[in-house]
Amino acid sequence: MHHGDSQGQSTQAETRRAAAGGLSRRAFVQRLGALGAGTAAALGSRAESARAQYGVNWSDQLPADQLVAMYTDMLKIRLWETKVKDLILKGGFRGVAHLYVGEEAIAVGICRALRKDDYIASTHRGHGHLIAKGGDMAKMLAEITHKATGYCKGYGGSLHITDVSLGILGMNGIVGAAHLFAAGAAYGIKVRGTDQVAVSFGGDGSLQNSFFTSAANAAAAWKLPWIGVIENNGYQIWVRAREVYGTVDLAKRAEGFGIEGRVVDGNDVLAVYNAAKYAVDKARAGGGPTVIECKTYRWYDHYGAGGARIGVDGAFGLGYRSDREVRDWMAKDPIRRFRHFLISDRVLSVEQADKIEADVAKAVDEAAAFAEAQPVPKPEDGLKNVFAQGAVPLRNV
Amino acid sequence: MPKNMHYAILEAIQGEMRRDKLLVLLYEYQRPSAGWQGRSINLEAEFGRPRVQFCAIDEQWIVGAALGMAMTGVPAIAHIPSMATFIPFELMFNHAGKLRHMTGGQAAFPMVLWADMATRSPYQGGQHADAGLESAYARLAGLKIVVPSNPYDAKGLMVSAIRDVDPVIFCHYPMPATGPDVPDEPYTVPIGEAAVRTEGSDITLVGYAPQTVEIAKAVEELAKDGIRAEFIDPRTLAPLDGVMEPILQSVKKTGRLLPADEGSYSFSNCTEIVARVAEALPGVKVKRLAFPDAPAPGAPEMINYMKVDAAKIAAAARKMVKG
């Protein structure tokens, strides 16, 4: 129900593009300089930057159906999380959430470069990672409202929601732990001798406890197929990263360990994809780890919906950041940018782009209705799953 | 209404920072400011940096730096959030608790680890609702551990902790603003002394921090049935000897001991209290109520079924007295 539409859309898009005698993407990029539009300039610089950094602009080789799938995934994250925000504001929400809105380009750009059998380890702000890796929006909503049929049967909730079958080593409420587990998984890949890779996501706040240090050192020493993704949204909970860090470009830290560090615009899904594709290909070929820092911004508060309103994007009036800063970043909306690109590049018509958005909105509404109708867990189930076998005894009677 | 818990703690630190011009507070994101009845405390504004400093998400730095400072005569308070309670475990275990002994009394760490503690709240799922971790710290030699249950004790115990020449872990459970009024002036609540909250003769109930709320309700319920319960709040978990005195006296009188624990059943402070009572007073009736030896699930249906509450304490006490 959540993956069927992108294929159909992209076929349509291809057909229309062919019918319109559309330019190839490569030809289009070559003509951009002459157009002089803002988007064109941004795209041109991305393409140049990609060629300079990686020798090739990987995103230029993405077929239309993949581009459309990326756009669809970004919208899924945006609309699913916006639904969660609205449900929280309505009251009586059976859960908590750390919203990822504004950072969609990172999850989608990275995961598009991965195979299903690659691993990711996620964060407390990880709904987007799960959706980008192919997670089911309905089972996700059931889980974050602690229903018995959710991904984790209501045990885990938002902070621990995962689909192990998609190679997701879990979301994690402990900041930074993901780096260590992904590097460990990368070591396991080396032991098994496959060409998989393992990616960890972490915020700018995830670099200080020893998890990242241990991961980076071992990955560099033994050329592990590990990719550390730093989602630098500028804030560690409510503390500005620049007030507690001596460096601005956090990817530079990787260099001290002997790892290539890349800094990309985290609101440009194709720039993120370029970096990811480069890192993934390198890791698969035995070239070792890469750290990718994506500069981005969190539209909402650290958790919950403080400063937000139903039906309105963004959270304002939060004491630790200015509303102007929020609006500046919202103007760099990664989804609007990508939509503009897809339409300019004739991958999608305006109508097609709108239709995708409407379809995703409908799927999100269906997910919410599904979650709402699901049963709550049985109380005594809390005593199960402590060990593989049996249940532990109750101790309050 | 007395001052709230956070205000009372900050007032303790404020008084001590005014008294000791070197005292430092390191913390992560929990800004040291609070309000109460139109009054406010803001330690950042009053003392500035470097004495009041927020840090990266880096509990090893916050606690390790406090230890390093304390070794060199700069007393420090390290404030860490509840989900990170165990990240500095190694530092407290192999360093803070051992230095004085290992150096034959030459060196020590007069620091306070102000640890926010998690409660058994729904919707957290595992990592953010694991209460009772003070029991694991209480196992470590050389550390003092206090667990205040109300704002009055919180302020008095924080002042005592800061003035103590040994490392103290101040376990900060989010408690309601109940109990005695909190004086503006600095005062101490001695480390190592329990408080008898309610006197009674039929059964001895013991519990601290979140469980004090449930036990107080259970005491009222039991009174309706004519059961007079004595309720003792340990307040300190290490060292425990002084705390045990009123508990032993009480059980000698009642012949029944029922501790209630927000933490897990096995290897907890309540286990220790029961063991000491059983050792000193053979033949008394003992029982423990606790969370099962399981992680805390997120769904309210599951976690509420598993935790200890007033009704369950009252039911167990009734059974011990009448059954």
Annotate A301-364 with DSSP letters as a single string.
-SSTTTT-BTTB-S----TTS-HHHHHHHHTT-HHHHHHHHHHHTTSS-HHHHHHHHHHHHHHH
Number of domains in chain B: 2
How sure is the predictor about A13, in pLDDT bands with cuts at 50, 70 and 90? very low
Q: In this structure, what DSSP letter does residue B283 have?
A: T
CB contact under 8 A, B125 and A208: no
Q: If we measure between CA atoms, which residue out of A339, A349, A269 comes closest to residue A22?
A: A349
- d(CA B24, CA B13) in angstroms, rounded, equals 10
Tell me the mean pLDDT in the region B81-104.
Answer: 91
Highest mean pLDDT out of A30-34, A174-178, B195-199: B195-199
Average pLDDT rounded to a whole number, residues A159-164: 91
How many Cα atoms sit within 13 Å of B240 on the Cβ side? 20
CATH code, domain with B301: 3.40.50.920
What's the mean pLDDT in B129-141? 93
**pLDDT in the model for residue A26:** 43
Residues A247-264: pLDDT tens digits?
999 999 999 999 999 999
DSSP state of B296: P
Instruction: Provide the pLDDT confidence category of residue A18 given band limits of 50, 70 and 90.
Output: very low
Would you call B49 exposed, middle or buried from its count of C-beta atoms within 10 A (0-12, 13-18, 19+)?
A: exposed
Q: Looking at the structure, do residues B128 and B231 belong to the same domain, yes or no?
A: no
* For residues A3-12, average pLDDT: 39
Q: Considering CB atoms only, which of B29, B123, B309 is closest to A94?
A: B123
User: Residue A208 is which amino acid?
Assistant: Q
B284 and B237 within one domain: yes
d(CA A116, CA B297): 29
Looking at residue A19, what is its pLDDT?
41
Per DSSP (E only), the strands in A15-92 are none
**Residues from chain B contacting residue A154 (CB–CB below 8 Å):** 297-299, 301-302
| CB proximity A176 to B under 8 Å | yes
Does residue A28 register a pLDDT over 90? no
Q: What is the pLDDT of residue A209?
A: 87
State whether the Cα torsion A142-A143-A147-A149 is positive or negative. positive
Are residue B168 and residue B35 in the same domain, yes or no?
yes
Residues ≥6 apart with Cβ < 8 Å to A52: none
* Residue among B54, B264, B292 minimizing CB distance to A394: B292
Q: B192 CB contacts (<8 Å, ≥6 apart)?
A: B144, B236, B239, B241, B242, B243
Phi-psi region of A151 (alpha: psi -120 to 50; beta: other; left: phi over 0): alpha
Same domain as B156, residue B37? yes
Write out the two tokens for A71.
Answer: 């756009």
Chain B residues closer than 8 Å to A386 by CB: 292-295
Whole-number Å distance between alpha carbons of B298 and A284: 38
Using an 8 Å CB-CB cutoff, list chain A residues near B303: 382
B63: pLDDT confidence band, cut at 50, 70 and 90? very high
**B99, B209: one domain:** no
Same domain, B50 and B130: yes
Q: Give the least confident one: B65-79, B184-198, B227-241.
A: B65-79
Tell me whether residue B184 is in a domain. no
Q: Are residues B236 and B304 in the same domain?
A: yes
- One domain for residues B168 and B203: no
pLDDT at A20 over 60: no
Q: Which of residues 136-165 of A touch B (CB under 8 A)?
A: 146-148, 152, 154-160
Helix (H) or strand (E) holding A378: none
Mean pLDDT (whole number) for B296-313: 97
Question: Does residue B42 belong to any structural domain of this protein?
Answer: yes
| Pairwise CB contact (< 8 Å): A173 & B59 | no
pLDDT of A52 strictly over 90: no
Higher per-residue confidence, B105 vs A200: A200
Q: Can you tell me the mean pLDDT for B35-62?
A: 96
CB contact under 8 A, B294 and A157: no
Task: Quickly tell me which residue has 């007069």 as its tokens.
Answer: B110
Residue A21 reports pLDDT greater than 60 = no
Asked whether the beta carbons of residue A395 and residue B83 sit closer than 8 angstroms, the reply is: no
pLDDT digits (tens, 9 = 90+) for B192-201: 999 999 999 9
Q: Are B168 and B302 members of one domain?
A: no
CATH number assigned to the domain comprising residue B163: 3.40.50.970
Lowest mean pLDDT among A50-64, B35-49, B163-177: A50-64
B29: nearest CB among A158, A237, A377: A237
Give the mutation candidate from B211, B305, B307, B308 for the A interface (greatest A CB count, under 10 A): B305
Domain that holds residue B19: 5-172
Residue A117 confidence (pLDDT): 95
Q: Does residue A202 belong to the interface with chain B, where contact is any CB pair within 8 Å?
A: no
pLDDT band with cut points at 50, 70 and 90 for residue A29: very low
Q: How far is CA B270 from the centre of its chain?
A: 13
Q: How far apart are CA B289 and CA B270, in angstroms?
A: 9
Which residues in chain A belong to E strands, given as ranges? Answer: 119-121, 198-203, 226-232, 235-236, 239-240, 260-265, 290-295
> Within a domain: residue B280?
yes
Q: What is the pTM of this model?
A: 0.89
Tell me the angle at which helices A350-373 and A137-144 cross, rounded to the nearest 10 degrees: 40
Question: A51: pLDDT confidence band, cut at 50, 70 and 90?
Answer: confident
- Of A5, A126, A13, the residue nearest A77 (C-alpha): A126
Residues B200 and B164 reside in one and the same domain: no
Which residues, at least 6 apart from B184, have a Cβ–Cβ distance to it below 8 Å? B11
Interchain pair A96, B305: CB under 8 A = no
Q: Where are the beta strands (DSSP E) in chain B?
A: 24-27, 33-36, 39-42, 52-54, 76-80, 111-116, 144-146, 168-172, 195-198, 203-206, 229-233, 236-238, 256-264, 285-286, 289-291
The answer, yes or no, to whether residue B78 has pLDDT greater than 80, is yes
Answer whether residue A225 shows pLDDT above 60.
Answer: yes
The residue of chain B nearest to residue A208, with distances taken between CA atoms, is B58
pLDDT reading at A22 higher than 70: no
Q: Are A118 and A197 in contact (CB under 8 A)?
A: yes
Give the model's confidence band at A197: pLDDT under 50 very low, under 70 low, under 90 confident, else very high: very high
Distance CA A279, CA A277 (A): 5
Residue of chain B with shortest Cα separation from A95: B123
Domains of chain A: 66-342+356-374 (3.40.50.970)
The pLDDT of residue A35 is above 80: no
Paired strand residues for B238: B145
Which pLDDT band holds residue A124 (cuts at 50, 70, 90)? very high
Candidates B26, B30, B58: best to mutate against A (most CBs of A within 10 A) is: B58
Domain stop point among B106, B138, B172 = B172
Note whether residue B59 is domain-resident.
yes
Structural domain includes residue B180:
no
Is residue B88 assigned to a domain? yes
pLDDT given for residue A44 in this prediction: 56
Q: Residue A208: its chain B contacts at CB < 8 A?
A: 56-58, 60-61
Residue A76 scores a pLDDT above 60: yes
With H, G, I as helix, E, B as strand and everything else as coil, classify residue B317. helix
Q: Does A362 touch chain B (CB under 8 A)?
A: no
Domain match, B27 and B163 both: yes
- A-chain CB neighbours of B294 within 8 Å are 382-383, 386, 392
How far, rounded to the nearest angstrom, does the alpha carbon of residue B96 sit from its chain's CA centroid?
18
pLDDT above 90: percentage of residues in chain B: 92
- Kindly state whether residue B177 falls inside one of the protein's structural domains: no
How many Cβ pairs within 8 Å bridge chains A and B?
A: 152
Q: For residue B189, is it within any domain?
A: no
Is the ipTM here above 0.90?
Answer: no
Using an 8 Å CB-CB cutoff, list chain A residues near B312: 396-397
CB nearest to A392's CB, from B56, B292, B309: B292
* Claim to verify: residue B155 and residue B240 sit in the same structural domain: no
